[in-house]
Structure formats: C-alpha cells, structure tokens
Chains A and B, each alone.
Chain A
Amino acid sequence: MIQLKNVNKVYEDGFHALKNINLTFEEGKLNVLIGPSGCGKTTTMKLLNRLIDYTDGELTIDGKLISDINPIELRRQMGYVIQSIGLFPHMTIYDNVATVPKLLKWDKQKISQKVEELLKMVDLDPDTYRERYPHELSGGQQQRIGVIRALAAEPKIILMDEPFSALDPISREQLQDELVRLQKEINKTIIFVTHDMDEAIKIADQIILMRDGEVVQKGSPHELLTNPINQFVEDFIGEDRLRQARGLPPMTAFVDEDYPSVKVTESLDAAINVMVEKKKDQMPIVDADDKYLGILSLYDAVKNRDSEIKNLVDETVIAYRESAEVEKFVASKETIAPIVREDMSFIGVLDQDQLLEVLHEQVDQKSGVMS
C-alpha cells in the first residue's frame, strides 16, 4: 500500500506543483491519475519512483518512508512505462525486456524463461521477436514490449505515464483490454496517468481527478460518474458520459408537443380528417378540460364511421406522467406514449424518433464504436 500524507512539492522558482496531496493506493488496484495538463498528475506519479522528490509531507510504501529507500533500488522494484515507450534502440527485444532482471543479476536461465513467458503473455511469438530490434516492430507492438519490460522483474508496483496515448485508436483499445486482463492475472498495484476520461473509466478501480496541484475528487469510476462533486468534475467527465451514466433522460426530453389531439365531443369525421391530414394512425382523445381519455385508432374510426368518438376510445392505452422514466415505455412495448401533467391534462406524445436516436447512440458507445 502506498500512502501520501499532506505531500507538497514546491520548485525552486516558487512554483507550487502539488498542494497537500492525501492519497492511498491500495495493493492490487489499478489507480488512475487524471486531469488537464499541468495538474500535477505526472509529478505525483514521479514522486513514487523518486524521479522527483517532494518538498514536505510523508510518502510511505508499505509503511516505509520513501526517502529512506535508495532511489536506484526503489526503481528496480517498480515497473515504469512511459508515453514515448523509450525502448533501447541498440538492444534486441530480448535485451530490452531483460533490462531490469539483468540489473538485478538474475541467472540467465531464469531471465530467458521470464522473457519467453512475457512475450507469450502479450501474444508475441518469442521465436519471431526475441532477436528483433525495436524499430522493426509497430507502435502497438513496441508499447507491448514497453509494458512487459516493466513487468519483467516482477515488481509489485507499476507506474504508467500515459502509456497508450501516442498509439492509434485500435492499438490503444487492444492494449487497454490487455492491461485489464493482465491486471486480473498478475494483480499488481498500478498507478496510471492519463488525460483520457474514457480510458480512465474503462480501466480504473480508483480515479483521482486533479487540478492545479490538488486532488479534486477521487473514487471509483461509478462514484465519479454518478456523483460528481462540482462543476469542474462534471465538465471534465463530460455531459455525454454523465447522461449515459444516469441512464435515459426523463420523458419531458422527448415530448412532441405538436402532436394533435381531438376533443371527445367532436365528430368522428372531424377526427378522421385530422388523422389523415397529419398522417397519424393513432390520436389521443381529451375531454372538454383537455384531460387525457384514451387513444382512437384510425382503423377503428374508419371501420365504424357511424359511431361516435367516445364509443371507440381505447382507454387501456395509459398515459405517462411527464416525470416518468422513459425506460417504462421502452419496456412496455406499446406503440404510442401519450404524456400528461400531474392533473392528467394532455401535453403531447413521446417522440419515438428522438428516443430511438438516443438509444442508438448509447448502443454505439457501449459497443465501443466511435461515433
């Protein structure tokens, strides 16, 4: 477990990069540090392998003060993956992956086994890739090597600094999926820096949102999505994702108020005329006070031309209150949804085209298709 208590970082020029940071990174969890550029997320991460030292406060790893640990040894016990990948161009893939085990003087046999195992784990055939050089690999493959290089010495903690943001969208998606899968298998404490909210939501156990050197909100993706504490968090998460998290909007968002209605007192012919003219096959019927009564279908009306409206109204088609959840209608399988106020006065009809559009959008997003 990594704990930061009232950690501050002030640079020599007086820039206050981190202000009273209090954080806990629990063991085996994937923690995502996120925020706009310059918010201190990378600085916070670099405190952990002492690439940057904090000014005051307390940072402990498993209860041990980090300033008491030799930085070189500390770094060898932590995996480190960076955005620019940083594979060593003059070394083969084997030597790149074996970097830290070699620094730790593992025996050759063990290193060789480990490299093979890791290459297989990310679906790169050891016999094909072991002796290749980094420039012979695609960007996505290179970052896979970057990730397994960080895993090679079996560190308990892995630091990842925007590792996927320079990759093409397909490689990025794949690597995110792989990371989530790997995390389940190997169960490391991961500190992951990103500025991509989709990525954070997808992979994080804990999201830490930062701004101007301060932690604005931390919690599970679900907590942030359903309970953003202020406008900044909402803006950063984005309206689309918040709406998606909240589910479908209420009925009022989709009311078609121009949908015609006919008073029960009018003649059937008048009702038929309105329906034909407006090209509607169903017509809400209201009483003299504009209160909803039921639905008249064009089919019934034409078949019983001599009858009156009040005899033909289908009262089983219930109306929805304006505050009702759209889900109710979606679940009901009805073909028309009249919407009324609390006092049953008629407002309009649910616009199904609009609803369909929103539904489509959600389906697209959930299946990961870029819209």
Chain B
Amino acid sequence: MNLIQEYIEFWEIRYENIFEYLLEHLSIAFVSIIFAIVLTVPLAIGMTKMKNERLKQAIFNVANFFQTIPTIALFALLIPIFGIGFTPAVVALFLYALLPLLRNTYAGVESIDQGIVEAAKGMGYSTVQRLAKVELPIAVPYIMSGIRITTVYIISWTTLATVIGAGGLGDLVMAGIGSNNTYMIFTGTALAIILALTVDLIFGLIEKRLSVSRG
C-alpha cells in the first residue's frame, strides 16, 4: 500500500519532468525515422527499377554495414563529427533504420506478381503511372510493415541516446541508476515499453486498414 502511495507521490512531483523526457524520446525517434523513410522508400523503389545488380548490392552492403556497428560504439564515433546532444543521436538512429526500411520496401515492390506488372505495362500505363496506380498501392502494406518494425526498434534504441546527452527516457533510467532511485528506473523502462507497444499497435491498425479488401 505504501509502495503505491509513494509511487503516486513520485509522479505528482516529477510528472512534468517525465513528460519532458517522453517528448524528447519521441522526437529523437520520430525525426530519425522520418528522415530514414524519406531517403529509403524512394531509393528502394528506384532500386527495383535498377538494372545494375552490383550497384544494388553495394547499397544494401552500406546499409548493412551501419547495422553491424554496436549502438553504443556508433554514438561514440559520431561525437567527433556532431558533438553531443540531439543531432548525433538522430544521425545514429537514422543510420540504423536504413537497412530494415530499405529491405522491406524493396521486397514489397519486388514481390508484386509479375503478371500484374505485365498486365499494367501491356495496357499502356507509363512507368510513373504504373508505379503510382499499381505497384505502390499494392506494396504499401509491405512498406508499412517495414516502417512499423523499424519504428519499434528505434524507440527502443533511443533509450541509449542518453549516453551522448541527447535526453529521452534513457536519461530517466540513468539518473535512477545514479541516485539509486528504483522508481525512476522503473518509470523510464515502463514508458519505453509502453511507447513501443502503442506505436506498434497504431501502425498495425494502419497496416491492416491499408491491406483490407485484397486477396
């Protein structure tokens, strides 16, 4: 009983702070994911039309490379270039988001039944029309699921952004560790989890909505 009361008191005192952390967390995660989407989705679509297999492979390799660097190390590596704070955190998470987004979008467009593409071509769609009216609408559910998975990852990884002073829920956890405050650690962790789950749920609904009414 005491525990719950204490915890409620903790919220009463800290809620403004907590919301600040939450907001920071969200902005880091979403800014990086939005930049990543803006770059990768058109790139991946372009790659499906690309004939040069080597170039395609090279692009995938670069995206793959960023993915293999340990998160902490990547944050550290970016300090000499971007200093500390919001920018290097966004850059690092942006680099992480590239591969899953690229792969999913590419696979989505590639997986379209060749018969559909041929029918569209044969009926006289230009390349741009075909992309806009046929290929993209069909690939959207795949692209959305890529975005969903990646966003959940990125929200979770954003917790580490605290090590380069970018703030976010990671700060709450770190501060909790420093001052041996279990409530802070618990709150930071729980909110990161809830945030990830909520985003997953919302994006899941959007995905379902977009793929409704097809085979």
A→B interface (CB under 8 Å) = 49, 51, 72-76, 78, 80, 82-90, 99-100, 103, 133-135, 146, 149, 159
Contacts and interface: CB of A to CB of B under 8 A. Distances in A.
Given A86-B113, A135-B215, A100 B119 contact: no
B122 A103 contact: no
A83 B129 CA distance: 23
- Is chain B's interface secondary structure helix, strand, loop, or mixed overall? helix
A75 B116 contact: no
Contact of B125 (A73, A84, A89, A103): A103
- Is chain A's interface secondary structure helix, strand, loop, or mixed overall? mixed
A82 B122 contact: yes
Given A85-B115, A86-B116, A90-B137, A72 B215 contact: no
B175 interface: no
Given A88-B120, A90-B213, 11 more contacts: A72-B125, A72-B126, A73-B124, A74-B124, A88-B119, A89-B215, A90-B137, A100-B123, A134-B215, A135-B215, A159-B122
Contacts of B114: 84
A86 B118 contact: yes
Query: Which are the 5 A-B pairs with shortest beta-carbon distances?
Result: A135-B215, A86-B119, A84-B115, A76-B124, A80-B122
A229 to B, nearest CB: 33
- Chain B interface residue number, banded: 20 to 34
A51 B122 contact: yes
Contacts of B138: 88-90
Contacts of A89: 116, 138, 214-215
Interface string B124-135: 111001000010
B121 interface: yes
Nearest to B140: A90
Contact of A100 (B113, B117, B124, B215): B124
A138 to B, nearest CB: 12
